[in-house]
Chains A and B, each alone.
Chain A
């Protein structure tokens, strides 16, 4: 007769089997995680290895030199990317944020469902298609490529991302906070803008940063909106250089030092994305909780 205590011990084969299965699964999971990191690691290493040699003060301060002349840099492309991101944010952030607020606060009806669906469709549209659309709508009537067109394209791409993220984050804010505000005599707008948005601010910042990181590297749509340029330009109604387009132009060229600069440009782009992602993480550290 077995005592209760000995029934707990279990038979040896069963225990070994369980331990083996456990260990096997753990090993598989670790391997898969490592496998997911390998491409990223490889990419970072390669881009850094190829790009670092071409990075220098000249890279950040000079504009491209004509073919054949050594030196030159991508200063115009870096500034161009910043300008385009700025324009895109001007378009994408207000529409996305307000749209997200609308969906979260008033969007449980058919109109809300339609808007949500449209946003999802828009986020799935290939970026090059959006570029062609803006080409037809802005570039052709203006008879020129322009930073404006490029910024508009990127802005349109930002809208669905920002809208969906904002909506989810605003929904996450607990009802108890809204009730507290209402019970104090706050109106709906006051509640939304002064309490809910405040509570969701960390997540909203993340959403914005990630949306920016996404559009910062878009190349195809810029090819026929902002077009790219070898000159220094900050005007909104003229073609403007941008990092991705410049990298593209240089990379497929047959000139060695242009190719080296393309790597450097790629490195700068990756660094920008890394910084934005890290900033997004930093913005949500610990302060994400809104109430206990």
Chain B
């Protein structure tokens, strides 16, 4: 998959963003609350469209195709570009049915194939060992960290290319956070990951490239190491050193 590149203009929340996201690596987006980073993330899988009055201008390219063209199948897009949310949101069904939901509605697998797919997805999300005995139990009986890994497994089951993560660890304890960060590092070999986080240490830990957002604009973007040690823009520096945000 070729990287994403786009420029993007939207008066209310995002202004004239030009950004290219490389494949098979983790790109972090940081910035203070309300700066538009979550909004930006949601434009990548057209989740903003569920909100009334949302308007998008500009182009977002996935593999060279503008995903906002009217002929693009949103359903297929969301399969390829999956999303994990801030608070884990498992369906009120069994663990198995949660993972199987995606494959079932897209008709990807049935019967024994489906069982295998569920197992693989749970393994990829580092959750298989913990739940293999209780696949038929309600997903709500899992702990917060486990539920978030379940949501990741659920998303992996539909075989996406890109995984978007909107502050996935902000509702979790430090140990679960660490496990998810380890998971992300494993996943980046096969998927392109974009993570929004307000935790700068996390961004520095896991990502290869980082973008700093402020008031709807992309202020700076580059290799994470450089952003955090030698930022070019003084606003970036101010945020990183904790002078605001």
Binding site for B on A (CB under 8 A): 174, 176-187, 190, 194-195, 198-199, 289-292
Known: A177-B91, A198-B93, A199-B92. A184 touches B155 (CB 8 A): yes
Q: Are B89 and A184 in contact (CB under 8 A)?
A: no
Q: Are B89 and A182 in contact (CB under 8 A)?
A: no
Bitwise, B26-52 to A at CB < 8 A (1) or not (0) is 000000000000000000010100100
B103 to chain A, nearest CB (A): 10
Q: Are B102 and A176 in contact (CB under 8 A)?
A: no
Q: Are A185 and B92 in contact (CB under 8 A)?
A: no
Q: Are A290 and B92 in contact (CB under 8 A)?
A: yes
Instruction: Note all chain B residues with C-beta closer than 8 A to A187.
Output: 75
Which residue of chain B is the closest to A199 with respect to CB atoms? B92
Could you list 5 A-B pairs, sorted by A, with CB under 8 Å? A185-B78, A185-B102, A194-B101, A198-B91, A199-B91
The one of B82, B89, B105, B140 that contacts A176, using a Cβ cutoff of 8 Å: B89
Determine which residue in B75, B88, B92 has the highest number of CB atoms from chain A within 10 A of its CB, and name it: B92
Main secondary structure of the interface of B (DSSP, over half): helix
The CA of A246 and the CA of B158, in the complex, are separated in Å by: 59
Instruction: Note all chain B residues with C-beta closer than 8 A to A183.
Output: 45, 47, 78, 82-83, 85, 155
Give the residues from 54 to 107 in chain B that come closer than 8 angstroms, CB to CB, to chain A.
75-79, 82-83, 85, 87-93, 101-102, 105-106
Q: Are B82 and A184 in contact (CB under 8 A)?
A: yes
Instruction: Note all chain B residues with C-beta closer than 8 A to A181.
Output: 91, 101
Q: Are B106 and A179 in contact (CB under 8 A)?
A: no
Known: A195-B91, A199-B91. A184 touches B140 (CB 8 A): no
Size class of the B contact interface (CB-based, 8 Å): 20 to 34
Q: Are B158 and A177 in contact (CB under 8 A)?
A: no
The one of A180, A182, A289, A292 that contacts B91, using a Cβ cutoff of 8 Å: A180
Instruction: Note all chain A residues with C-beta closer than 8 A to B85.
Output: 176, 179-180, 183
The CA of A190 and the CA of B105, in the complex, are separated in Å by: 8
Which residue of chain B is the closest to A292 with respect to CB atoms? B140
Which residue of chain A is the closest to B81 with respect to CB atoms? A183
Pairs of residues from A and B, 4 with the lowest C-beta to C-beta distance, nearest first:
A185-B78, A183-B83, A176-B89, A185-B79
Instruction: Note all chain A residues with C-beta closer than 8 A to B101.
Output: 181, 184, 194-195
Q: Is B149 in the interface zone, CB < 8 Å from A?
A: no
Determine which residue in B79, B105, B140, B151 has the highest number of CB atoms from chain A within 10 A of its CB, and name it: B105
Instruction: Note all chain B residues with C-beta closer than 8 A to A198.
Output: 91-93
A286 to chain B, nearest CB (A): 11
B66 to chain A, nearest CB (A): 19
Q: Are B105 and A194 in contact (CB under 8 A)?
A: yes
- A182-B78, A185-B105 known; 6 new pairs, CB 8 Å cut-off, are A181-B101, A183-B45, A183-B85, A183-B155, A185-B75, A291-B90
The CA of A199 and the CA of B82, in the complex, are separated in Å by: 22
Give the residues from 117 to 172 in chain B that come closer than 8 angstroms, CB to CB, to chain A.
140, 144, 147, 151, 154-155, 158
Give the residues from 194 to 237 in chain B that come closer than 8 angstroms, CB to CB, to chain A.
none
Q: Are B47 and A182 in contact (CB under 8 A)?
A: yes
Instruction: Note all chain B residues with C-beta closer than 8 A to A195.
Output: 91, 101
Q: Are B50 and A179 in contact (CB under 8 A)?
A: yes
The CA of A198 and the CA of B144, in the complex, are separated in Å by: 22
The CA of A194 and the CA of B93, in the complex, are separated in Å by: 11
Q: Are B92 and A184 in contact (CB under 8 A)?
A: no
A157 to chain B, nearest CB (A): 31
Which residue of chain B is the closest to A188 with respect to CB atoms? B50
The one of A178, A179, A184, A292 that contacts B158, using a Cβ cutoff of 8 Å: A184
Q: Are A185 and B50 in contact (CB under 8 A)?
A: no
Known: A183-B78, A185-B76. A291 touches B158 (CB 8 A): no
The CA of A268 and the CA of B10, in the complex, are separated in Å by: 66
Q: Are B151 and A180 in contact (CB under 8 A)?
A: yes
Instruction: Note all chain A residues with C-beta closer than 8 A to B158.
Output: 184-185
The CA of A291 and the CA of B86, in the complex, are separated in Å by: 14
Known: A179-B50, A179-B85, A292-B140. A186 touches B91 (CB 8 A): no
B89 to chain A, nearest CB (A): 4
Instruction: Note all chain A residues with C-beta closer than 8 A to B90.
Output: 180, 291
The CA of A290 and the CA of B75, in the complex, are separated in Å by: 25
B227 to chain A, nearest CB (A): 28
Q: Are B105 and A186 in contact (CB under 8 A)?
A: yes
Which residue of chain A is the closest to B75 with respect to CB atoms? A185
Q: Are B50 and A182 in contact (CB under 8 A)?
A: yes
Q: Are B76 and A179 in contact (CB under 8 A)?
A: no
The CA of A190 and the CA of B103, in the complex, are separated in Å by: 13
The CA of A194 and the CA of B83, in the complex, are separated in Å by: 19
